[in-house]
Amino acid sequence: MSADTLNLAAEGGGGLFTPGGPGFEAPSVGIFFPSPWVDYDIPMTSGITKYAVLLAVASGLALLFLWWTSRKQSLVPNRSQSIGEIFFLFIREQISRPMMGVKGDKYLPLLISLFIFVFAMNIMGIIPFLQLPVTSNLSYPVGIALVVYVTFIVVGIRSQGGVGKYLKGAVVPSGAPGWILPLLVPIEIISNFLIRPATHAIRVFATMFAGHLLLATFAAAGWYMFNPAAGPLFGTISVLFSGASLLAFVVFTAFELVIMFLQAFVFTLLAALYIGQAQEAH
Amino acid sequence: MEGSLNVIGYGISVIGAGIGVGIVFGMGMQAIARQPEARGPLQTNIYIGFALIEALALLGFVLAFAI
């Protein structure tokens, strides 16, 4: 759409085609900074915002799922327990075993918690009336990524037997000739201990951020263009436009669900990969 | 017109990541088609490669807003 058409639409706005109405304002980054409901004026905190409430809802959902699938355990699983077992086997066969082998099975509780917690926080973005993925605020993924960061460093130090051995194994590539080490070691340090946790957190954050912005734009545009009072011709056109936007909103919501699952999967997969790499001797 | 040049820069930079993700999934599908019994490990490796390439695009996305 060219600038002229945009201006025309803006001049006709109010809904679309209303003379002298307000123009279309696309949702901005501001929707990710909701104003706090309870503000207790401590520096570097944001008070209790929608994010904090949704975080509690997401944790509650995750706990509820785990409680529902693990109560009344028996050898012959009942309906809820089989769902839990399918989920458990999915994490073990798709994530844990390929990355860490059998000796990684003791990290399964961590991986399962990570997956279900990240997925519950993501899914807040498409639950009606909540509709804000908790992970679209950088602080939450950073918190979880820090847990993984500390875990794989501690696991590395323990399984390699000492800080020095672990650091040597992690930053000095085996088999590299000595003269290239001054070049390689800084790159390995940056990529293993700085870029790795940063991208681990940013990956899920940025995907949720972009996806939510996309959905918000379609919702706002659909509402803006809905103007059946603009006369028979323009009213029909505006309702058609609005319907197209609604359709796109629904389609992209389904698409977002897939993305949310994929991001939780990738987050857990990378956590398993990092722990597995720290575990085995280089 | 108002706007930020960052967005255009991000659009250009994400071409590379798009090509990369396309290659990863394309080659992955090809590998699975050639050897369907190796599906499990191949799929895991596809997602790792996808995640590493996607990180480049996402770094650009964040920097486009941050700078």
Q: What percent of chain A has pLDDT over 70?
A: 91
Exposed, middle or buried by CB within 10 Å (0-12, 13-18, 19+), for A57? middle
Closest partner residue to B47 (CB to CB) among A3, A205, A266 is A266
**Is residue A12 over pLDDT 50?**
no
State the average pLDDT for chain A.
86
Establish if A96 touches chain B: CB-CB under 8 angstroms: no
Q: Which pLDDT value is given to residue A66?
A: 92
Other Cβ atoms less than 10 A from the Cβ of A63: the count is: 13
Which structure tokens are listed for A203? 């990956």
Cα A236 off chain centre by: 39
Compute the average pLDDT of residues B15-44: 92
Q: Is B44 within 8 Å of A94 (Cβ atoms)? A: yes
Contacts of A98 in chain B (CB under 8 A): 40-41, 44
Pairwise CB contact (< 8 Å): A203 & B51: yes
- Alpha-carbon distance of A17 to A171, in angstroms, equals 62
Is 50 exceeded by the pLDDT of residue B3?
A: yes
Protein fold of B5-66: F1FO ATP Synthase (1.20.20)
Encoding tokens for residue A7?
Answer: 């201006």
CB of A183 within 8 Å of a chain B CB? The answer is no
What is the pLDDT averaged over residues A142-147? 94
Predicted local distance difference test score (pLDDT) of residue A281: 65
Q: What is the pLDDT of residues A161-185, one digit of tens each?
A: 888 888 888 888 888 888 888 899 9
B67 or A41: whose pLDDT is higher? A41
B41 at the A interface (CB within 8 A)? yes
Residues pairing with A48 in the sheet: A38
The answer to whether the CB atoms of B65 and A29 lie below 8 A apart is yes
**A53-69 pLDDT, tens per residue?**
999 999 999 999 999 99
Boundaries of every domain in chain A = 51-158+194-279
Angle separating helix axes A232-279 and A196-225, nearest 10 degrees: 170
Yes or no, beta carbons of B47 and A265 under 8 Å apart: yes
Q: Which residues of A touch B40 (CB under 8 A)?
A: 93-94, 98
Q: A22-26, A99-103, A220-224 — which is least confidently predicted?
A: A22-26
Residue A65, pLDDT score: 94
Residues of chain B with C-beta less than 8 angstroms from the C-beta of A202: 55, 58-59, 62
pLDDT digits (tens, 9 = 90+) for A84-112: 999 999 999 889 988 888 888 999 999 99
The answer to whether A201 faces chain B, any CB pair under 8 Å, is no
Indicate whether this complex's ipTM tops 0.90. no
Q: Taking CB atoms and an 8 Å limit, are A269 and B41 in contact across chains? A: no
Residues 6+ apart with CB under 8 A from A139: none
Q: How many angstroms separate the CA of residue B29 from the nearest CA in chain A?
A: 17
Say yes or no to pLDDT of A20 above 90.
Answer: no
